[in-house]
Amino acid sequence: MNFKKKTILLLPLLFTMLFSCNGQNNNNSSSLDSQTEVDSCASEPIYHGEDIEVSKIISNEYGRNIEVEGKDFIYLGTQIRVDAFMNCDKYTYADVKYLFKEAAALGVNCIQVPVEWSKIEFAQDEFNFKYVHEMLSYANEYDLKVEIMWYGSNMCGDTHSYSVPNYILADGRTYPKFDALRTGEFWNYYGILWYLDFDHPNLVSRETNAVRKLMDYIYTFDSTHGGKKPVIGVQIENEPDAFPRWRIDQYEVKSPTTGAKMTMEEGFEKVCNSVDALGKEVKNAKYKVYTRVNFANATNGSVYTSSIVNDAPSYVKKVNNLEGIDIVGDDCYMSSVRNVKGIINMFNSLPNNFGHIAENAGNYQNTPSLILAALAQHGGYSIYDLMTSPFFIQNGSGDVNQGIIDPGETANTFVYKNHYEETKLLISGLKMVESEIYKLDKDNVFAFNVSSDYPSKSKTQSISSKHSTIEFTTSQTALGFGLDFGSYIDLFLTHDASIKLSNGTITEVHTDSLLDDVFTSSGSVTFNNNTVNISGGQLYRITYTSSGPIESTTWANIGVS
Amino acid sequence: MKKILFAILPLILLSSCKGTHGEKTIKLENQTVYDAPYRYENSDDNKARIVYKNGVPVLIQSASLRTDLLKNADFLKAAEMEDYFAIAKETNMNTMEISLMWSEIEIDKDIYSFDELDTYLNFAKEYDLKLNIIWYGSFVDGETHTANIPKYISENPNEYPLIMDLFDFANYGHCEIIDWNNDKLLNREQIALYSALNHVYEWNHNNDNYDPIIMVQLGQGVDRLQRWRVNQYKIPGQDGEIMSFDEAWALSNKYIEAMGKAVKYSKYKALTRSEFCEQSAVVNYVRNIKNIEYVDIVCPTYLHEITTMKNGIKNFVDEYEEMPVINSENWANDINYKQIMVSTAMGGSGYVSYQLSAPRYFPESPKGTLYKRYNPDGTTLEEKFVEHFSRATDTKLVNGLLNKAFVPATNASRGNFASLGLDSSFNDKVGEERTQKIYLKSGILVDYTNPEDVIGYAIYDRNFIYCTSSKDAQLTVNNCTATVAQQGQFNEEGEWESAGNVTLENNKTLIMEAGIAYRIRLATINPLPDPATLISNQYRSTSDSIRS
């Protein structure tokens, strides 16, 4: 080897050593990017850059509802706080998967699953979608639809270090934070608390970029995993209204412009700017889904004035009017059937909105009554939550356990609360009428045995739609619903009961299933004197001839006593 | 020959990357080349106080500067922090608390750089300030923040194992609980602190023995591990169960002892202190830490109200008759100036306003800073630092008043230190009813015409009453024989410098001008009247004259 060759060999060595001196980490970030990892389940792409319309909000003469892949979608969900299970309880993906299975077993058709910004962007522009991949794979496996809950800069009015990438939090010059009490403190649920300047252009740019990457990944995932379209919607942040409504006062948050305590108006402006930008990013994606925002008990318990449902608060209207947000819902945390009824109507009165309960505690024993009240009013309902994080339960206040399921001794064992089976049964009935429940006036929806917060064991109740009157009698705590289309009623009760129809004459009664608007009879049912004995857990179609229009009393029979 | 050259060249390049300071192995050895410049002793009035080597007492009036955050959040070098030292001086501070990170002096394993420390020391000298070093090593508020420790530690968990790996912590790096039972870790950290103080000795030698550092705080919030973190994080103990409090205390105490030893073995033997979070009274864990061999002072902190301050300082003073009491952190809020006076009156020897000014890019707590964030566009110091409300003005005022009489303020025990204008029961009184009457334990009865929104003191020390008021007022001394009154103040050598005699009306009443310090010589002092007489004449004790 001559000298020149030696020089050639040594020069790269020297350069290598020089670079290794400067502390730069040259790790190849591509190994973190699940899009470049081998996915044994992935198939050839079926999408090729075209827009895929998955869901949207549609309207008819009776209101609005969610449509998924061209069909009405009954909004019956439960939330799975995967963030808590993984951050605090240290669940593995295998542990989390059991929860998806449990959600499917409960019978809901959609689940709300958080995606924390920090779990997809590990460092600036280093994206890793393994978490999302796992969540969507489980959803597909259990035939669940997913609403992604985007946990970004504003989680219940705070910024949490568990949810936001550290490169954002470490660079206050580029991504300013508000001055406030409590900043920098540790909360064992969520890490260190901060208040990022939610609508600062630098932050919005990075957060929308992450959302765009997420939506692109979902598109790619679905394209290569059978096109089952698991994601149907995106919740933008979580209860972002908590910031202006509570945090500013609680923690003396200062305005970056005035230096004085921030006004509520300024706080809302920042929140609105942020969620609007994020919502628009979702809506601009090729994978088209609806966006929504949930409020933290928007009514503060004030649902009615006398018997009239109040107007939605102005900030709810403001968010509802944002271009990037399709629908708004309430996390009401109320066990009052009457209040749930009122809130659905309040939110349905907003232009282009689909009223829904985005969260309500799953430990309410009257969850079936609450679900029925919401659905009977042309709304939707999601249970918070399927199972509360054991860590939250052990470290939180007494009422933090809001799951409809309790944790068992291990991550894959569960204890079902007393109302679990009843809830599951009602959900099974409601899902049978998915294709028609939003296709009629709520005045023609009977809701039985929900006049009080809890169903009576023995009850006789007479309710009128616009076409018929039904006298409902149970001695077995049955509750349920009937959808009156003028010539037939599709009816489901959770337990045995009898119904007697008046203002019309029954001509036929059948049981069995309804799928995509097609009723398949498994046989006729006898009836006598316009009276039918109903067995719990079955769908009935009662065909009748109406004697003419009458005044509906459906509203008056939900949550009145 | 060529082979040798090519083999050596990469090594040369490698070492040049690490910095200019040579690599050396350092051992902890007790150095005795220089006497401790600051020590503590009791005054004639039996008040524990800090004294400088020439015997002049030291009253610490300090503000906290989060140099760690100025670096980690504002991305400043020490050289860019000069204005902060200037404004501290402008606010009549005589001391600054700066956080010194292990990572900023040991930049790589065994590679030390003291350039940043030198800059702090140079600024201190330039602005006639002393420093208290808050040691930001592996133990800060019961956690380890990787921004504070060298990378060779944080990136080598096999050698320096963690008890828990926690979470990313923004400007503090990554948060974890390192195993402080690891002697190797403690030794590395000891050597770093020891080396820093040895370097201070060298700097001092080259700077006319300015003696820039009064004390070193060993860790930060040393009670946080036991009182908060163990339960917050469910930190496991050696048996795998949640760590017991005893085990946690043993860990932190071991750490404190190791760091204290590093200071006391160094060539520059600063005082050492340990501070707690919101510590308003001495309890057993405070006593345990005070019993650690290398800990001089244990400190109360965050005494949020006037009454809490009064009782908290009193508790520490009563417990430790021979230990100067330093309030090592207290929110620099709207009552900061009152807190300084109360702390000193109750027997404190030092007070730290937390904080001077918040880093520009780190959230500021509304609870307290004297100045708003630094304005780099300002051309004057006033424009660069705009105060929050009147906090800086008020603090500057009280610091100034106390500075003028720092010798009696550090000598007099609380029974002979009357703080004026801090009795809220006078708030709704008018005219002559506003005369505040206070008895001193020496027997002197002080009558102070009490204007609104005023602050001042009347201190008895070795045959003199020293007094001042932030507004024009009258002060009368009774139950004693006064001879002459002067205005003036103490100089740096601790000597009274008179600015001339002033009239003492009826041989007992002084007409005070705002902001002027006076002293009245007393020939005789009668015994303190009995309690019934004091009560009937509405005299209150010095403690009772502080009411929030």
Structure confidence by residue, pLDDT tens digits, B436-484: 999 999 999 999 998 899 999 999 999 999 999 999 999 999 999 999 9
* SS3 call for B316: helix
B9/A170 Cβ within 8 A: no
Tokens of B228: 């908060």
Residues B246 and B239: their CA atoms lie apart, in Å, by 13
User: Torsion-angle region of residue A227: left (phi > 0), alpha (psi -120 to 50) or beta?
Assistant: left
Helix boundaries (H) for B305-350: 306-319, 336-345
Q: Which among A21, A177, A192 has the least Cβ separation from residue B169?
A: A192
Closest Cβ opposite residue A172 in set B6, B361, B367 = B361
Q: Is B263 helix (H, G, I), strand (E, B) or coil?
A: helix
Contact (CB, 8 A) for B316 and B290 = no
- The helix (H) or strand (E) run that includes residue A319 is helix A314-320
Is this complex scored with an ipTM above 0.95?
A: no
- Is A18 in the B-facing interface, judged by CB distances under 8 Å? yes
Average pLDDT, 10 consecutive residues per value, chain A (561 residues): 38 35 33 54 95 98 98 98 96 98 98 98 98 98 98 98 98 97 92 97 98 98 98 98 98 95 98 98 98 97 95 98 98 98 98 98 98 98 98 89 96 96 98 96 98 98 98 98 97 98 97 75 91 96 98 96 58
Tokens matching residue A379: 């709304």
Instruction: List pLDDT tens digits, range B111-136.
Output: 999 999 999 999 999 999 999 999 99
Please give the helix or strand (H or E) that residue B84 lies within, else none: helix B82-90
Integer angstrom CA distances of residue B56 from B38, B44, B351, B517: 10, 14, 18, 19
What are the DSSP E strand ranges found in A240-311? 287-288, 290-296, 304-305, 308-309
Query: Please, is B425 exposed, middle or buried when counting C-beta atoms within 10 Å of its C-beta (0-12, 13-18, 19+)?
Result: exposed
Given an 8 Å threshold on Cβ–Cβ distance, is A252 in contact with B2? Answer: no
Instruction: Find the residue in A nearest to B230 (Cα).
Output: A188
Task: Say if A260 is an interface residue toward chain B (CB within 8 Å).
Answer: no
Residues of A in contact with B361 (CB under 8 A): 171-173, 176
Structure tokens at B447: 């009558």
pLDDT given at position A6: 39
To the nearest whole number, what is the mean pLDDT of chain B?
Answer: 94
**Residue B16 confidence class, pLDDT cut points 50, 70, 90:** very low
Sign of CA dihedral B342, B344, B349, B353: positive
Using a CB-CB distance cutoff of 8 angstroms, which residues of chain A are in contact with residue B171? 169-170, 172
- CA distance linking residue A522 with residue A515, whole number of Å: 13
Flag whether residue A6 sits within 8 Å of chain B, measured between CB atoms: yes
Work out the percent of chain B whose per-residue pLDDT is above 90. Answer: 93
Q: Say how many C-beta atoms besides its own lie within 10 A of residue A107's C-beta.
A: 17
Residue B334's alpha-carbon distances to B65, B370, B399, B451, in angstroms, are: 18, 9, 15, 20
CA–CA distance, B64 with B321 (Å, rounded to integer): 27
Pairing of strands B435-439, B445-449: antiparallel
Q: Rounded to an integer, what is the distance from CA B278 to the centroid of its chain? A: 15
Token readout for B126 is: 């330039």
Rounded to a whole number of angstroms, the CA Rg of chain B reads 25
pLDDT score recorded for residue A364: 98
User: Helices in B127-266 by DSSP H: which ranges?
Assistant: 151-154, 183-205, 224, 230-233, 245-265
Check B366 against A14: CB less than 8 A apart.
no
Pairwise CA distance, residues A378 & A60, whole Å = 11
Q: Which amino acid does the sequence have at A529?
A: N
User: Residue for token digits 């705009």?
Assistant: B386
**CB atoms < 10 A from the CB of B258, how many?**
23
Q: DSSP states of B453-475 as a string?
A: S--EEEEEETTEEEEEESSSEEE
- If you count residue pairs, one on A and one on B, with CB atoms under 8 Å apart, how many are there? 82
The H or E element that residue A233 is part of is strand A231-238
Mutation choice for A interface testing from B107, B365, B371, B388 by most A CBs within 10 A: B365
Q: Which of A149, A150, A154, A153 lies closest to A78, judged by CA?
A: A149
Contacts of A161 in chain B (CB under 8 A): 167-170
For B363, which of A13, A22, A179 is closest by C-beta distance?
A179
Distance CA B188, CA B181 (A): 13
Eight-class DSSP state of A254: B
Question: Which residues in chain A are contacts of B364 at CB distance < 8 A?
Answer: 179, 254
Closest residue in A to B386 (Cα–Cα): A259
Say if residue B2's pLDDT is above 70: no
Beta-carbon separation of A3 and B367 below 8 A: no
- The distance of A227 to chain B (nearest Cα, Å) reads 37
Q: How close does chain B come to A480, measured CA to CA in Å? A: 46
Residue in chain B closest to A2 (alpha carbons) equals: B2
**Chain B residues near residue A254 by CB distance under 8 angstroms:** 364, 366
Residue B8 clears pLDDT 60, i.e. is over it = no
Are the C-beta atoms of residues B135 and B101 closer than 8 Å to each other? no
Give me the pLDDT at residue B78, please: 98
The proportion of chain B whose per-residue pLDDT surpasses 70, expressed as a percent, equals 96
Question: Which residues make Cβ contacts (< 8 Å) with residue A271, sequence separation at least 6?
Answer: A154, A198, A199, A240, A241, A243, A244
Strand locations in B302-442 (E): 325-331, 348-354, 417-420, 435-439
- Planar angle of CA B392, B407, B395, nearest 5 degrees: 5
Distance of CA A15 to the CA centre of its chain: 54
> Between B9, B73, B359, which is nearest A14 by CB?
B9
- From the number of C-beta atoms within 10 Å of its C-beta (0-12, 13-18, 19+), residue A58 rates as middle
- The pTM of the full predicted model, rounded to 2 decimals, is 0.91
How far is the alpha carbon of A217 from chain B, nearest alpha carbon, in Å?
A: 25
Do the chains contact at A195 and B169, CB–CB below 8 Å?
Answer: no
Report the residue of B155, B167, B176, B357 to disrupt the A interface, i.e. the one with the largest count of A CBs within 10 Å. Answer: B167
- Write out the two tokens for B439: 């008895």
